[in-house]
Amino acid sequence: MQTPVDRLWARALSRLQRTDSPRFSFAEIRELGLEPDELIGGGAFTYAGFDAERADCECGVVPAFDFQTRAAEGLVGLACACSPSCSREWQWVRRDEHEHLRTDARAVFAAIAGANALQPLSAAVPDPFIAVGRLLRRGLDIAVVWCRVAGPMLQVLGRGLAASIRQPPIIVVPSSSGNERTDGFEVVALPREETAELDLLAGVERLTPNYRARVLEDPTLDLDYVRVRFATRPGDRHVLEINGHDFGGFRKSDVKFLRMLLLAAARKNGANDGWIDKSRLRDGDDKDRALERMREELVTYDVPGLSEDERRALVRAHKGQLRLGVPPENIEFDASLASIEFIAPTTTATKTGARTRATPKQADGLKNAGVLLRDCHRLFGR
């Protein structure tokens, strides 16, 4: 879920299609739940002044302003500044709708770097390019830059860019234009909707056309074209969405769901890049079949666009350790997980309707689920 600050930067990113210096009225900022003074204090925004025109002025001049008379109402008066004026009465407008802050492209890209898994780009970038960041993906070290121009001129400028930073491959995000391949670098368009996520994967896909086959062979690689979301419906079932699809597995078993959740939490918030010892899955089986059972669950149910082999590869195994094969930025945890409830019963019903105590296997499952949940909470910082 986007925070007010996230929504602000998402809007700023979309406005880079029209301007290098996105502007926001005080009214718009407050509608997002933010305060202009706090944004200015943060250093990424500056005061852009008051900008208004009198709608019925025939003279076309900068109007005279009255900031004092109705200041308590939040209103500013506009009058024709010509002598004689074309209109002698004041027109009153809301001050916060015409008073603005501005930011710039460098601040926008610095703010969205984390959402795009970008690290700082140390190489000097020549004008008119601006460094966006450094993307480490699929074994590549990719320089990502923004450019104020697009079209044929971008191709000319791109040759100078490649010679200057000497760090191929390169992805260029222009102020306009679509995704395309050019001579020496990839072009990825700014998002048209309000989101802080650049479609960098489109450029990476073109740089690595055989990746979906290679990722199945190398357990250290990620299925970065997969997104997962974890949630729960208390007393009903658990929810795992894969690429927006409500996956059929891990719904009723606390232990199975929590094993996947633990791998996701370790990848998102843990150490060692998400790798954990397989013993932490609390298998309790002499044959240590937790990995096999998780993969069986993943291939039992379909996901549009993902093969059985790709679903199996979502749980990666390497040198006795396991991790979720999805990059951290592609993992989302719903707020419902804060109040997760076990679905497994503590008692079972007989044919006559009487209640009996849970079997030893069920009791062990509840115990293991409790340990897994505590491990998840530690990784969530709770």
Which domain-ending residue is among 102, 124, 140?
Answer: 102
197 shares a domain with 151: yes
Based on the fold, state whether residues 143 and 89 are members of the same structural domain.
Answer: no
Same domain, 199 and 243: no
Q: Are 288 and 278 in contact (CB under 8 A)?
A: yes
Q: Are residues 376 and 306 in the same domain?
A: yes
Helix (H, G, I), strand (E, B) or coil at 239: strand
Residue 99 β-bridge partners: 50
Q: How far is residue 150's CA from residue 141's CA, in Å, rounded to a whole number?
A: 24
Q: How far apart are CA 267 and CA 228, in angstroms?
A: 12
Give the C-alpha distances (Å, rounded to integers) separating 298 from 150, 223, 281, 310, 338.
Answer: 43, 14, 16, 9, 24
In-domain check, residue 16? no
Residue 37 is assigned to a structural domain of this protein:
yes
Asked whether residue 135 is domain-assigned, the answer is yes
- For residue 95, being part of any structural domain is answered with yes
DSSP assignments along 11-54, one per residue: HHHHHTTT-SS-EEEHHHHHHTT--HHHHHHHTS-EEEEE----
From 58, 84, 102, the end of a domain falls on 102
For residue 11, being part of any structural domain is answered with: no
Domain span including residue 142: 106-208
CB 116 within 8 A of CB 197: yes
At residue 83, the pLDDT reads: 83
Check whether residue 53 and residue 35 sit in a common domain: yes
**Both 231 and 185 in a single domain?**
no
Q: What is the DSSP letter of 306?
A: B
φ/ψ of 100, rounded to 5, equals -130, 155
Residue 258 shares a structural domain with residue 367: yes
Task: Say which residues have a Cβ less than 8 Å from residue 352's Cβ, sequence separation at least 6.
Answer: none
C-alpha dihedral (253, 254, 255, 256), degrees to nearest 10: 50
Pairing of β 46-50 and β 99-102: antiparallel
Q: Are residues 243 and 344 in the same domain?
A: yes
State the pLDDT at residue 10: 93
d(CA 172, CA 137): 16
Position 62 in a domain: yes
Same domain, yes or no, for 40 and 137? no
* Domain total of the chain: 3
Give yes or no: residues 65 and 128 share one domain.
Answer: no
Sheet holding 228-233, edge to edge: 245-246, 237-242, 228-233, 331-333
Q: What is the pLDDT along the chain (382 residues), one digit of tens a residue?
A: 679 999 999 999 999 988 889 999 999 999 999 999 999 999 999 999 888 887 778 787 888 898 999 999 999 998 888 888 887 788 899 989 999 999 999 999 999 999 899 999 988 888 888 999 999 988 889 999 998 877 777 777 777 777 777 767 889 888 776 555 566 688 888 888 889 999 999 899 988 989 999 999 999 999 999 999 999 998 889 999 999 999 999 998 888 999 999 999 999 998 899 999 888 887 655 566 888 889 999 999 999 999 999 999 999 999 889 999 999 989 999 999 988 877 645 545 445 555 556 666 666 667 777 888 888 888 887 5
What distance separates the 2 farthest-apart alpha carbons in the chain?
98
Q: What is the pLDDT of residue 87?
A: 74
| Packed helices 254-269 and 360-380: angle between N→C axes, nearest 10 degrees | 20
Is 313 inside a domain boundary?
yes
Q: Is the dihedral of CA 207, 209, 210, 211 positive or negative?
A: positive
**204 and 313: one domain?**
no
Q: Evaluate whether residue 265 is within a structural domain.
A: yes
**Strand partners for 237:** 233
Distance CA 94, CA 158 (A): 45
Q: Of 208, 234, 255, which residue sits at a domain end?
A: 208
373 and 306 both lie in a single domain = yes
